Amino acid sequence: MPLGKLYLIGAGPGDPELLTLKAARVLGQCDVVLYDRLTTPGVLALARSDAELVYVGKHDGEQEREQARIFELILEHATAGRSVARLKGGDPLVFGRGAEEWEIAVAHGIEVEFIPGISSAIAVPGLAGIPLTFREVSRSFAVVTGHWKSGTNMEWSPYAKIDTLVILMGTKQRALIANSLIAAGRSPSEPVAFVEQGSLPDQCVVETDLRTVAEGKVEVEGPAVMVIGEVVRQRNRLVE
């Protein structure tokens, strides 16, 4: 039996209208859709009506076990000749372990096609009225994961002087991140924004400063994108 094909598809930040035309077209053709917890119903509605939809979302304490299951599902369906859409929120290659799935498919002779998605790191701040770069305010930005292995310490000093920081998956660790950045040299008064449910109808923005986050006084509902830098102040000029 001929092998199937794996499509690594970026689902964007959530709004189905932010998928690329190619992503929507391919999603409507695949036999199987493996989707994560950030995939919205509107995006799934674009799948073929008779496609097999398989939820493979990861939760705390289950990441490695679920990732192993994803590898198995990709190989199981593709070796059976099916076309597999691996649908990931944002872009599959931005903190999504998409490259690992690509690698294991190639190792088993399975063809892979990558279809980029709009990363929430770029789209969500903009949708909230926060430009990541702005003349004379921010000439650089970095996208950083706020999730790291238990028992390890992340080194934040390399990010002390970057104008704008975008932190994904950092909601739970927000106080630790803020304290670490202050210790690394960032100003406690630097503005911070959390954009919850970015691109969706219930999008919400929480504006504060690094000191308040460090003190654990900011309530945030995940998933949320954390933005740190003077560009956060531009929101007052861009959003009515």
Does residue 149 surpass a pLDDT of 70? no
* DSSP class per residue in 73-121: HHHHHHHTT-EEEEEESB-TTSSS-HHHHHHHHHHTT-EEEEE----HH
The owner of tokens 């690094």 is: 210
| pLDDT for 152 | 59
CB of 56 closer than 8 Å to CB of 76: no
| pLDDT for 148 | 75
Active site residue 58: yes
The one catalytic residue in 58, 60, 163, 209 is 58
CB of 101 closer than 8 Å to CB of 71: yes
| Residues 6 or more apart whose Cβ sits within 8 Å of residue 176 | none
| pLDDT for 232 | 98
| pLDDT for 147 | 79
Cα 97-34-148 angle, rounded to 5 deg: 25
- The SS3 assignment for 178 reads helix
Q: Which two tokens stand for residue 230?
A: 């003077």
Please write the tens of the pLDDT for every residue from 100-133: 999 999 999 999 999 999 999 999 999 999 999 9
Using pLDDT thresholds of 50, 70 and 90, give the confidence band for residue 58: confident
Active site residue 36: yes
Spell 67-94 as b/e; 16+ CB within 10 A means b. Answer: eeebbebbbebbeeebbbbbbbbbbbbb
Using pLDDT thresholds of 50, 70 and 90, give the confidence band for residue 226: very high
What value does the mean pLDDT take over residues 209-224?
Answer: 95
| pLDDT for 144 | 96
- The SS3 assignment for 67 reads helix
Please write the tens of the pLDDT for every residue from 1-47: 799 999 999 999 999 999 999 999 999 999 999 999 989 999 999 99
| Residues 6 or more apart whose Cβ sits within 8 Å of residue 187 | 210
Does residue 63 surpass a pLDDT of 90? no
CB of 14 closer than 8 Å to CB of 128: no
The one catalytic residue in 31, 36, 88, 91 is 36
| pLDDT for 62 | 74
Cα(76)–Cα(81) distance, integer angstroms:
9
pTM given for the model: 0.92
The owner of tokens 């994560």 is: 36
Share of the chain above pLDDT 70, in %: 98
